[in-house]
Amino acid sequence: MGKFDNLLNQCKFDDRGLISAVAQDHLTGEVLMLAWMNREALEQTLQRRVACYWSRSRGKLWVKGETSGHFQKVKEVLIDCDQDAVVLRIEQTGGACHTGYRSCFYRRVEEDGGLTVTGEKVFEEGEVYGKP
């Protein structure tokens, strides 16, 4: 029996077998992304201290950074009252967002309904993920 089995058994994975995971910069508190974890992704994250998610679009386990090099070193994991969501307090290499912004939440909704880019661009998408 693994040391995280008790915790994993208590987690309330939904009908797709998933919980939500919020990644937050451990120093600034900036919310960087929201993603999904199945049981294996959460166990890997806890064991390796590197964020690992479940990619719904690709249908596979996804170590964040495996393509881009933009790994997330896990400093702290918090779990919510319902045990169906976690917060990862992380150290982000590069940017969390595939668009090149540090955070996926790089746009503010203004009171008139418009969007303003408020996030910091930290890399060029084409240079990291490659483009044909």
The token pair at 115 is 């969007």
State the number of binding residues for its own copies (CB under 8 A). 41
Contact 88, 77 (CB under 8 A): yes
| Shortest spacing between CB 124 and its own copies, in angstroms | 15
* DSSP output for 7-51: HHHHS---TTS-EEEEEEETTT--EEEEEEE-HHHHHHHHHHSB-
Contact 77, 49 (CB under 8 A): no
Candidates 5, 40, 91, 120: give the one binding its own copies (CB under 8 A): 5
Candidates 79, 93, 94, 122: give the one binding its own copies (CB under 8 A): 79
Candidates 107, 121, 122, 128: give the one binding its own copies (CB under 8 A): 107
* DSSP output for 52-92: EEEETTTTEEEETTTTTS--EEEEEEEE-TTSSEEEEEEEE
Candidates 51, 92, 97, 102: give the one binding its own copies (CB under 8 A): 97
39 binds its own copies (CB under 8 A): no
> Which residues bind to its own copies, rule: CB under 8 A?
2-7, 20, 22, 24, 28-31, 33-34, 46, 76-82, 85-87, 97-99, 101, 104-109, 111-113, 115, 118
Annotated binding site for Zn(2+): 81, 97, 104
